[in-house]
Structures are given as structure tokens and as C-alpha cells.
Amino acid sequence: MYLDRDRLKTLSEKFNAKIVPALIVLSPTGDKITSNGVEEVRVASKKALEIWPQGKSLFWSREPREGEYVWQYTACTVCYMRPLIGSRHGCTHQECSIALCETCLPKNNHEHPLVEYLMPKRTYSLEAFIGIYFCAHWCSPCRDSTPKLAELYKEAQESAPGFRIVFVSCDRDEESFNNYRAEMPWLTVPLNASAVLKEYFWDPGEYMSSLFIP
């Protein structure tokens, strides 16, 4: 198959396999069950293997109602709606990747606190404009930039008193987090709430010390 470029091209076009890895699941009659096999295995492999023989895809979705946001690359952890449509709730714990739709939220007894995600492209009313500061005590460039940013922040309070900075820690333990935030003159979110904000604003390809103003 590797050397049969024509057949490879034909199959790729037939099943719209534009990227690899791609797992296209077919029924015994050759009908396509899902083209998202890789993601379905990643999200819930056992459940996917149970449902594919029934001729069904693990992921499902519905048409969004007016005003509902479509979380294009997110699946509900409970009902596997993907894309997840409407309000999305996630865990404040750094190691937890749960995502719940509004229907599954009341049915779930999650061990950690859950928060509702802000919806992109929706206007929220704020009394101040906010800088979200991602950094960590173990990061040398962060330790260099924080004192300079603190000086600028104090100066800005005179000319722009509505400006606020919120520290989002990328530290790995409470002691480092507490020691570092003690050096800062601005607000801080709890260490276990950082994961949600990182998903919104922080690109791991960027420098650790990053200041975002939404």
C-alpha cells in the first residue's frame, strides 16, 4: 500500500483523510461509521469498541440554537457530544481534563470544583481592563520580568487606575506558588484554577513569562 500511491490518493480522497494519523471505521457493508476513530479511541477506547459494532459513532452532536457557542474540538466527557454545544463546564484541578455539557452537568458528581467556561466572542462587561500574567518561580526569565512589570504596574495605577493584573501560576507546588505571589502587588488566582485559564489564553509555544490583555 505504501508504494501504491494512486490507491492511497483514492482512499484519502474518498474518506477525506487529510491528516495522519487517521482511523476510518467502516461497517461490514463498507459504510463509514466514523472518520474520527483516532480521537474516539483517545477519549474513550472501551466505549468506542462497544459502540462501533452497532454501526454508531462514539461522537454525536446537534444543531446549535441561536446564541449557543460551538466548542469545535471538545467532547463532553459523559455523553461524548462533539463538538460540545452550549455552556461548557470544566474542572479547576490542574490534572483533570473533564468537560461537561449543560445536560450532563447536573448528573455528574465530580470530586473537584467545576467552573463554567467563558464563551469566546461573547461580550462580557468588566469594570477594568485586565492583564493575565502567566509565569512561574522556577522560570529565570519570569523572575527577571516580574520586578519590572511590578514597577510599571504601580506607575499605571496613577494614570490608569482601572488597569488590573491577575497572576496565573505555572508553578508545580504550593510552596513555590505562595513564595512567588508574595512578591507581586496584584491579584492571584488559586493554583488549582490555573489550568482553565491556561487553556483559554496561554500558548505553550510562547515564552513562559507572558502577559495577555483580552
65 assigned to some structural domain: no
Residue 144 belongs to domain with CATH number:
3.40.30.10
CA dihedral 66, 67, 71, 75 (to 10 degrees): -60
**Residues 9 and 77 placed together within one structural domain of the fold:** no
pTM assigned to the model: 0.59
For residues 124 and 164, give the distance between their C-alpha atoms in angstroms, rounded to a whole number.
Answer: 16
In this predicted model, what pLDDT tens digit does every residue of 103-140 receive, in sequence order?
999 988 888 888 888 776 666 555 567 888 888 999 98
**Residues 156 and 197 placed together within one structural domain of the fold:** yes
**Owning domain of residue 100:** 70-116
pLDDT score of 119: 73
Domains identified in the chain, total number: 3
